[in-house]
Amino acid sequence: MLVLETRNVHSVFPSALWLLLHEGVKQESRNGPVLTLMQPVTTVYRNPRERVMFWSERDANPFFHFFESLWMLNGQNDVMFPARFAKQIKKYSDDGKIFHGAYGYRWRNHFKQDQLLEVIANLRNDHTDRRQVVQMWDASVDLPDQSSKKDLPCNLMVTFQIVMDSLDMVVFNRSNDIVWGSYGSNVVHFSMLHEFMASAIGVPTGTYSQISVNWHGYLDTLLPLTELSKQSPLETPDMAIVTWDPYALGQVRTFPLMGTPHELWLEDLSVFMMEEDTILYRDSFFNQVASPMIRIHKMWKSGERQEAFDKVDEIKATDWRMACRDWMARRMTAQDDGVRYE
Strands (E), 74-225: 132-135, 155-163, 166-177, 205-218
User: At a CB cut-off of 8 Å and minimum separation 6, what does 66 contact?
Assistant: 188, 290, 293, 320
What pLDDT was estimated at residue 235?
60
The string of pLDDT tens digits covering residues 144-187 is 999 999 999 999 999 999 999 999 999 999 999 999 999 999 99
The string of pLDDT tens digits covering residues 94-150 is 999 999 999 999 999 999 999 999 999 999 999 999 999 999 999 999 999 999 999
The string of pLDDT tens digits covering residues 273-326 is 998 777 789 999 999 999 999 999 999 999 999 999 999 999 999 999 999 999
How would residue 243 be classed by pLDDT, with cut points 50, 70 and 90? low
> Distance of CA 6 to CAs 69, 209, 301, Å?
22, 10, 35
What pLDDT was estimated at residue 284?
97
Higher pLDDT, 231 or 225: 225
Q: Are 67 and 266 in contact (CB under 8 A)?
A: no
What pLDDT was estimated at residue 340?
46
Question: Nearest Cα to 176, choosing from 164, 167, 184?
Answer: 184
What pLDDT was estimated at residue 94?
93
What pLDDT was estimated at residue 240?
45
Burial 66-76 (b: 16+ CB within 10 A, else e): bbbbbbbbbbb
**CA-based max dimension of the chain:** 58
Res 241 pLDDT > 60:
no
Mean pLDDT to the nearest integer, 84-101: 95
Positions marked catalytic: 154
What pLDDT was estimated at residue 156?
98
DSSP state at residue 170: E
What pLDDT was estimated at residue 231?
86
How would residue 341 be classed by pLDDT, with cut points 50, 70 and 90? very low
User: At a CB cut-off of 8 Å and minimum separation 6, what does 305 contact?
Assistant: 299, 328, 331, 332
The domains found in the chain, sorted by start residue, are 1-220 (3.30.572.10), 252-334 (no CATH)
Mean pLDDT to the nearest integer, 69-78: 98
Q: Are 290 and 275 in contact (CB under 8 A)?
A: no
Q: What is the 3-state secondary structure (H, E, C) of 326-342?
A: HHHHHHHCCCCCCCCCC
The string of pLDDT tens digits covering residues 15-58 is 999 999 999 999 998 889 999 999 999 999 999 999 999 999 99
What pLDDT was estimated at residue 201?
98
